[in-house]
Structure 1
Amino acid sequence: MQTQDRSTASNCPIIRETLQNAITASQNHLLSIQYPDGYWWAVLESNVTITAEVVLLHKIWGTDKTRPLHKVETYLRNEQREHGGWELYYGDGGELSTSVEAYMALRLLGVPASDPALLKAKEFILERGGISKTRIFTKFHLALIGCYDWQGIPSIPPAIMLLPDNFPVTIYEMSSWARGSTVPLLIVFDKKPIYLTEPGINLDELYAEGVENVRYELPKSGDWADLFVGLDKGFKFAEVSNLMPLREAGLKAAEKWVLERQEATGDWGGIIPAMLNSLLALRALHYDPCDPIVDRGLQAVDRFAVETEEIYWIQPCVSPVWDTALVMRALVESGMEPNRPELVRAGEWLLDKQILDYGDWAVKNKKGKPGAWAFEFDNRFYPDVDDSAVVVMALDAVTLPDEELKRSAIARTLKWILSMQCKEGGWAAFDLDNNQDWLNAIPYGDLKAMIDPNTADVTARVLEMSGRCDLSLGSFALRRALAYLIKEQEQDGSWFGRWGVNYIYGTSGAISALALIATESHISNIERGAAWLLSCQNSDGGWGETCQSYNDPSLKGQGDSTASQTAWALAGLMAAVEASTTVAGSTLTPETLSAIERGIEYLIATQRSDGTWDESYFTGTGFPCHFYLKYHLYQQHFPLTALGRYQKLMSNPPNCPS
């Protein structure tokens, strides 16, 4: 799907009134959904496994009767596709592990195996190899209720909790999300509990080879990672023989770690996997359901729920800080006065959310001082670089009553971000030099998300922050960051997108950064990136990219057009246009302006009468190839940002006759 060839740029045919009407409608919608405290917050959607695992959690704790779990049945039935399975992301054709967990949840909710929907799901699951071919975490959840044997689940020595910080391998070499999930799993994997549920179920019908023929063992991959499979056999022998060294001390340390990291609101890490695993650990340790720690934890899970008259489901996370900062940027960039009361309330809310406590990041970062932001309402242990950089840009764009307070907050954040620069020159999301890739080979790391290395998109965000807010990173840090970002550019001109789908996201961010801070020195990199974006414009004028591009890079930049991905591509192209007009010898092609115009036309044409856009596709990334997200505000604020930047660009149109 290529952009149509046009030999000359049009004479700016988009009527200014039409453009302004689209901007105003979008602004009015966003203002109408602002919360009274000043923040914006919309639903964050993933696949159905999160909800299925919450059903299992409540069945295990016996708290299922106090939640409207009967509505989950309707939700899961609605999400089942015609082929019988459930999807990892919209339109993927169905995914095995996701489907097994949805099937499990429906059985736990009392749906019989003879139900037509489950018969159809069973056929889908068996055709793909059944339970034995699912991921480790699916098997783990099944083992909790006796539907899979613990022998096929990896063992993790609890003694790893006792390793000193300066040891070559500790839990802090895992990504923050892997760490928050793994520490409680040390307890659960050690205890190997099997819980009786009401109703009691088995899933024998989902073993393609027949349940009597199942081999409960870790799969081998045929490479050096099989070393871990051999080690696992040794660990299991030590468990059975009661020879596991420092077992009790390790379990006590894991329990202490889990308890210390619970927020006052009950959350752990602000993400459902860490919250569920922590509650499972407490259950394995025989905590009482009425214990305040457990009660707070269960209530925290409840706050992630979305309930209507008919359905009930659970979000994987909540994103108010991220949503608020991005909406603020969109409103200002689309022409709203920076001292407007709604923006002032939002800015003051963000200032109040700055984290001034030390978190897990400080274990490897001994020099940094607190001053960052997290993604969620409450998450003091895990602020992140990406959110912090976006918040800085949002605050810089607005005018607050106490500008000195704002500047102090920004200064603290800049120092913290600089202290988080990795050895390779870039920035990761949550930790410093969290890059030991071999951890992805351990048996239970089959999501390949055990580490948090520096990435092009987060690095670009920091560089964009520096340029847009006139904040100096220092020449040494800047040179290293630029070198890293350029090294990450692919041969075709694109950049990989770790946190958004995918190359469109990464390329847009990199161009936007380079155009602000390295225009002349890196104009060729900017132009190559822009050329790649031009090459994948769809015939309808928009851009889209399938999540499958993470599995198959030949699909990069290919997919049905979406509002959010079109807005990303436009942001990158408009940044390239502005950069090109300031560099001697750089020529702006008419085709570029024509492509931008067609992209804007696509956004205007697909905007609904209430000022909103709609898209079904998932354009956010949790773990590439394994877990994707749909931010329900992405399709609103990113298009508004693009429209606002286009309006500014056309106020002095390059190569466009006046």
Structure 2
Amino acid sequence: MWKLRCSSPGDRASVPGQDISSLNGHAGRHIWEHNSAHLSPEDIAVIDRLRENFELNRHTQKHSSDALMRLQYDSLRDARGRAIKTAPPPRCAYDPTSGTADSPVSRDIVKQALRAGIDFYQGLQDDDGHWPGDYGGPMFLMPGLIIALCVMGKLDHVLSEAHKVEIRRYLRNHQNEDGGFGLHIEGHSTMFGTVLSYVAMRLLGMSPNTSNLVDRENSLVDALSWIRARGGAVNVPSWGKFYLCLLGVYEWDGLNPVPPECWLLPYTFNPLHPGRFWCHCRMVYLPMSYLYGMRATAQSTEITELLKKELYIDDYDCIDWNTTRNSCAEEDLYYPHPWIQDLIWSGLSKVELSLLKTSAGMWLRGIACKLAMEHIHYEDENTRYIDIGPVNKVLNMLCCWFEDPFGCANRKHMQRLHDYLWLAEDGMKMQGYNGSQLWDCAFAVQAITASGLATEYTDCLIAAHRYLDVSQVQADCPGELTRWHRHISKGAWPFSTRDHGWPISDCSSEGLKAALELEGLGTALAGPPIPIDRLEDCVNVVLSYQNMETGGWATYENTRSFPWVEIMNPAETFGDIMIDYSYVECSSASLQALSKFRTRYPTSPHKDRIEKALTAGRNFLLSIQRADGSWYGSWAICFTYGTWFGIKGLLATGSTYETCSSLRKAVRFLLSKQMACGGWGESYLSSQKKKYIQLEGNEPHVVNTAWAMLALVASGQAKYDPAPLHRAARALMRMQCGNGDWPQQSIMGVFNRNCMITYANYRNIFPLWALGDYATLVLGVK
């Protein structure tokens, strides 16, 4: 069995691989270890039931409840002083049997629901102050890791048999009824998800011809049938083609060029220089360019020879690979290549072929690959070998292995792989980051302080404050930042851990807001405040993120190129990946943080810059509001999320319901989507199709309901018509579980328009925050 182990600051004993560097004693790091010694037979029986229940219902409830982590922390409640002391109120206490649901809920009843919710959620907090949680969802991440480890010959070295069992469980559990696998756990079957999942299962020892029912051979048979019915793996999109090339079961001639020479081009006046791309895009295509330039390919093995026969309709040696470069299954084609892009790739491939036949071309290729490796090593060292995300983590590791199979970089990379692995009742998955620790912690602080019950939860808030404190980035990356295409980072907060370290505008802003909330409570309730000079550093970095052209904020950096560059997006499965766009969420979070800081510190040296930023940022929000009053949310589902941020951003810059027609329009939009039960329920399809789509079955979603309620309470809705808020509060309380938890429903996170991702802690944070605001701002609970 398994145990989640978190590393508290200074706790070296809990860190596998003693040479892994850390800036703060590995605060926030959590890894799963196989260890059955701490489990009783009763515990094992409970875990087995959780797994069986997920498997039985996997086609209707595709999202795990993160039950294994929660079970572990539940068992420690009494010993940690985090026992659940309050039960949620009975339904009869807030749902009237007579009268109307439009009436206010009793203040004491809301307090009871809040205490029950915080009692439960504080028990999931780790000792170092962060809240662990599942951040999985995409289905292509784990197969990429397995392929890389096979290429390196390290699969058995990194993954034990216990790991493999859980990974196989995860893959089988998320196979769709038609035999295919989606881009993410709730998505329709795609060639990308199905081919990579099939390959991963084969590399993990499963066989379509086995009689071993434990490995349920039908999973492979059904997946292979799905692939072959759609023309075979020649129709996998470009990222899938790339992974297959690495494994040696697809030919490099069938891949559109990823030339490392692009990094040699001049940066100035060149909108297509890779350094101008969105950091997640360039940090994936950087190692891809090295591996492509080296034609890095695994040695042929028995399994790769079998895959060549299984994955294709035609005989492998007879395939015309040049004709397959732009082949892509219809199910995967979210972003079709414009014709001009295909023309450019075709011309580039011919030029490359000619150049590489010359000594000058080979010399240039060597210089380019060397430069690419310099950038890869810089990224590795500055993230303590975590890297910005799981795709470039795996590809960077492969680059280091091909450069020097015995180098120390390989050892450091492998020791950090476990940072990305997460276990739940559905099996072991690879997360979309090394966690969402800082992000969740900052939101949780704001939710608990909003409840008005901070005096009852000082231990929880002091621990959260410690995590905020030790997670702030306190220095820029070394060297000349422009050479490495890096933004300043001193004073920022990252999404996960300080060791990861990439600064982000909205994470910095939410971290600053949380720090100011805790500072306002005083040292007795929240611990020592973060020094003012460090808060000023954060304000400086948030201000630096603002795009002067639009007035909005992007994610990790300023926008460095133009939207038309998107026509060169080579990834058929993702949208808007080429540049770092300005977003409503990042802009609103930044505006809220700057406004809050200005109120607390009106004489700050940054006050003039803040005033200008607020004006420009407000204009940006108004410029991107949709005609129906909503904002499109790019990082969660979708219009309820974006409109919550849009409303809060307008309020932070001086809007009121009475004076701002845009605010009133946004309120009307949210009210128009409220369901008869009082809640909201939005499907992930809203993100893909860019229009509001209700969840199937018209079921309310606890997270959507909380976001809409937060926006409406903040807008002053209670002054004009509080009935929708009373109905929403009842909907949230109705969905609360008997232990104070809320249920895990459909997936709520998204990136690049088309791929969904898990935020396991949202189901606890946002209903607490919404009920807290309802209690304090609508009912007046003190």
What letter is aligned with 1:274? Answer: N
Match 2:256 to one of 146, 150, 154: 154
Q: TM-score, normalised by structure 2?
A: 0.76
- The DSSP-based 3-state class of the residue aligned with 2:422 is strand
Residue 761 of structure 2 is matched in structure 1 by 633
Q: CA deviation at 1:543?
A: 1.4
- Corresponding residue for 1:4? none
Residue aligning to 2:627: 491
Matching of residue 257 in structure 1 with residue 375 in structure 2: yes
CA contact (8 A) 2:583 2:634 kept: yes
Which residue, out of 442, 447, 450, partners 2:578? 450
What are the equivalent positions in structure 2 for 1:118-517 lying under 5 Å apart?
Answer: 118-168=220-270, 169-195=272-298, 196-197=300-301, 199-200=303-304, 201-207=306-312, 212=318, 215-218=323-326, 221=337, 223-238=339-354, 240-242=356-358, 243=361, 246-263=364-381, 266-288=384-406, 291-307=407-423, 311-317=427-433, 318-337=435-454, 340-359=458-477, 362-363=481-482, 370-379=490-499, 382-399=502-519, 401=523, 405-422=530-547, 423-442=549-568, 444-446=570-572, 447-448=574-575, 449-471=577-599, 474-517=610-653
Equivalent residues of 1:143, 1:194 under 8 A apart: yes
Contact 2:625–2:631 (8 Å) recurs in 1: yes
Distance change in 2, residues 1:222/1:16 (3 Å): closer
For 1:450 and 1:102, the matched residues in 2 are separated by 26
SS in 2 for 1:224: helix
Contact 2:400 2:409 in 1 (8 A): no
Work out whether 1:87 is the aligned partner of 2:182. Answer: yes
Aligned amino acid, residue 533 of structure 2 = S
Matched, 1:70 2:164: yes
Q: Does 1:575 align with 2:710?
A: no
Distance 2:734 2:676 in 1: 14
Q: Is the 8 A contact 2:702 2:763 kept in 1?
A: yes
**How far apart, in 2, do the equivalents of 1:541 and 1:405 lie?**
40
Aligned residues: 633
Equivalent position SS for 2:716? helix
Comparing 223-232 and 560-569, the one that deviates more = 223-232
Give the structure-1-normalised TM-score: 0.89
Question: For the Cα contact (< 8 Å) 1:42–1:323, is it kept in 2?
Answer: no
1:366-406 superposed Cα distances (whole Å, 9 cap, x missing partner): 99672101112245662100100000111111136476643
Question: Could you tell me how far apart the structure 1 residues matched to 2:709 and 2:471 are?
Answer: 31
Could you tell me how far apart the structure 2 residues matched to 1:554 and 1:279 are? 39
What are structure 1's unaligned runs of at least 5 residues? 1-7, 582-587, 654-658
2:748 match: 619
Q: CA deviation at 1:57?
A: 1.7
Residues 198, 391 of structure 1: alpha-carbon distance in 2 compared, 3 angstrom cutoff: farther
What CA distance in whole angstroms lies between the structure 2 residues aligned with 1:125 and 1:544?
A: 34
**Closer, same or farther in 2 for the Cα pair 1:452/1:208, shift >3 Å?**
farther
Q: Secondary structure at the match of 1:628?
A: strand
Q: Which residue of 1 aligns with 2:24?
A: none
SS in 2 for 1:570: helix
Q: Deviations over 1:406-427 (max 9, x none)?
A: 3322211111111111021100
User: What displacement does 1:269 show?
Assistant: 2.8
1:61 corresponding residue in structure 2 = 152
2:731 maps to 1:602: yes
Shift of the 545–207 alpha-carbon distance from structure 1 to 2, 3 Å rule, reads farther
Aligned to 2:677: 540
Aligned to 1:585: none
Instruction: Supply the AA of the counterpart residue of 2:567.
Output: A
**Once structures 1 and 2 are overlaid, which stretch shifts more, 417-426 or 14-23?**
14-23
**Cα deviation, residue 650, structure 1:** 2.6
Range with bigger deviation, 215-224 or 267-276: 215-224
Deviates more, 1:515-524 or 1:167-176: 515-524
Distance 1:606 1:366 in 2: 44
- C-alpha separation between the residues in 2 aligned to 1:322 and 1:52? 27
| Identity score, percent | 23
Of 630-639 and 374-383, more deviation after overlay is shown by: 374-383
User: Residues 391 and 62 of structure 1: is their aligned pair in 2 closer, same or farther, counting only changes over 3 Å?
Assistant: same
For 2:192, which of 79, 93, 97 is the aligned residue?
97
- Larger deviation, residues 54-63 vs 524-533: 54-63
Partners of 1:547 and 1:618 within 8 A in 2: yes
Q: Is the 8 A contact 1:263 1:378 kept in 2?
A: no
Moved more, 362-371 or 352-361: 362-371
User: For 1:428, what is the secondary structure of its paired residue?
Assistant: coil
Going from structure 1 to structure 2, the CA distance change for 1:398 and 1:184 (only over 3 Å counts) comes to same
Deviation at 1:204, TM superposition (A): 3.8
Find the counterpart in structure 2 of residue 566 from structure 1.
705
**Residues 517 and 266 (structure 1 numbering): CA distance in 2 closer, same or farther, change over 3 Å?**
closer
Distance 2:529 2:384 in 1: 34
Match of 1:228, as an amino acid?
A: I
Amino acid across the alignment from 2:647: I
Q: Is the 8 A contact 1:270 1:379 kept in 2?
A: no
CA RMSD between the two structures: 2.8
Structure 1: distance between partners of 2:102 and 2:220: 58
Contact 1:9 1:594 in 2 (8 A): no
Give the corresponding residue for 2:214: none
The Cα offsets for residues 448-481 of structure 1, whole Å up to 9 and x where unpaired, read as 3122111112111112223344455533222211
Report the secondary structure of 1:597's partner residue: helix
Return the offset for 1:135. Answer: 1.7
Name the structure 1 match of 2:203. 108
Query: Would the aligned equivalents of 1:619 and 1:630 in 2 still touch at CA under 8 Å?
Result: yes
Mark the CA change 1:127 to 1:639 in structure 2 (over 3 Å): closer, same or farther.
farther
Cα distance, 1:532 vs structure 2: 0.9
| Worse-superposed segment, 189-198 or 322-331 | 189-198
Is the contact between residue 505 and residue 586 of structure 2 (CA under 8 Å) also seen in structure 1? yes
Work out the CA distance in 1 between the residues paired with 2:624 and 2:496.
29
Contact 2:383-2:499 at 8 Å conserved across structures: no
Matched letter for residue 523 of structure 1: C
SS at match of 1:92: coil
